[in-house]
Amino acid sequence: MALGPGPVSPEGVLMKVFAVLRMPLLLLGAFGAVAMDWRLHHPAPAQAVPVSAPILPAPAAPAPPAPARAPGLLVPDLLERVTPSVVSVFSLRAGPSPHDSESSFSGPAGDDHGFEPNVGSGVIVRSNGYIVTNHHVIEAADDIKVRLWDHREFRATVIGRDPRTDLSVLRIEAEGLSAIPFADSGAVRVGEPVLAIGNALGLGQTVSSGIIGARGRSGLGVAAEEDFLETDASMNPGSSGGPLLNLKGELVGINTAIATRTGGFQGIGLVIPSRLVQEIVDALLRDGKIDRGWLGVMVQDLTPDLAVAFNLTAARGVIVTEVCPQGPAAKAGLRRGDIILAIDAHPVATRFDLDHHAAMRGATTTITLRVWRKGKSMELHAQLEPLREQPPPPAEMGAEEDPEGQPSGLDGVTVRPVPPKLLRESGIADEEGGLLVTGLERPGRFAGLRRGDLIVEVNGRPVRDIDHLLEGLCLKGSSVLVRVRRPEGSVYLLVPY
pLDDT tens-digit readout, 298-353: 999 999 989 988 888 888 899 999 898 889 999 999 999 999 999 999 999 998 99
Kindly tell me the burial class for residue 102, based on how many C-beta atoms sit within 10 Å of its own C-beta (0-12, 13-18, 19 or more): middle
pLDDT at 192: 95
Single out the catalytic residue among 91, 121, 240, 408. 240
Contact in structure between 294 and 382 (CB atoms under 8 Å) = no
Q: Is residue 16 predicted with pLDDT exceeding 90?
A: no
Beta strand pairing call for 143-147 and 339-343 = unpaired
Contact in structure between 300 and 218 (CB atoms under 8 Å) = no
Span 214-243, pLDDT tens digits: 998 888 888 888 899 999 998 888 889 999
Single out the catalytic residue among 85, 106, 166, 185. 166
Please, what's the b/e burial string for 261-278 (b: 16 or more CB within 10 A of its CB; e: otherwise)? Answer: eeeebeebbbbbbbbbbb
pLDDT at 391: 58
**Angstrom distance (rounded) from CA 438 to CA 454:** 10
Is position 467 annotated as part of the catalytic site? no
Span 447-468, pLDDT tens digits: 888 988 888 888 888 887 777 6
Q: Name the band, by pLDDT with cuts 50, 70 and 90, for residue 159.
A: very high
Region 174-195 average pLDDT: 94
**Angstrom distance (rounded) from CA 151 to CA 407:** 70
Please, what's the b/e burial string for 119-134 (b: 16 or more CB within 10 A of its CB; e: otherwise)? Answer: bbbbbbbeeebbbbbb
Q: Domains plus CATH for the chain?
A: 84-171 (2.40.10.10), 185-287 (2.40.10.10), 293-386 (2.30.42.10), 406-496 (2.30.42.10)
**Angstrom distance (rounded) from CA 6 to CA 12:** 12
Is position 166 annotated as part of the catalytic site? yes
Find the Cα–Cα–Cα–Cα dihedral 486, 488, 489, 492, rounded to 10°: -60
Cβ contacts of residue 467 below 8 Å, gap of 6+?
none
More confident residue, 391 or 380: 380
Single out the catalytic residue among 85, 91, 135, 136. 136
* Nearest CA among 487, 479, 429 for reference residue 454: 487
Q: Is residue 475 predicted with pLDDT exceeding 70?
A: no
pLDDT at 389: 67
Q: Is residue 111 predicted with pLDDT exceeding 50?
A: no
For 441, phi then psi, to 5°, come to: -110, -175
**Angstrom distance (rounded) from CA 255 to CA 246:** 13
Kindly tell me the burial class for residue 245, based on how many C-beta atoms sit within 10 Å of its own C-beta (0-12, 13-18, 19 or more): buried
Of 110-119, 156-165, 301-310, which has the strongest mean pLDDT?
156-165
Neighbours of 455 (CB within 10 A): 25
More confident residue, 119 or 33: 119
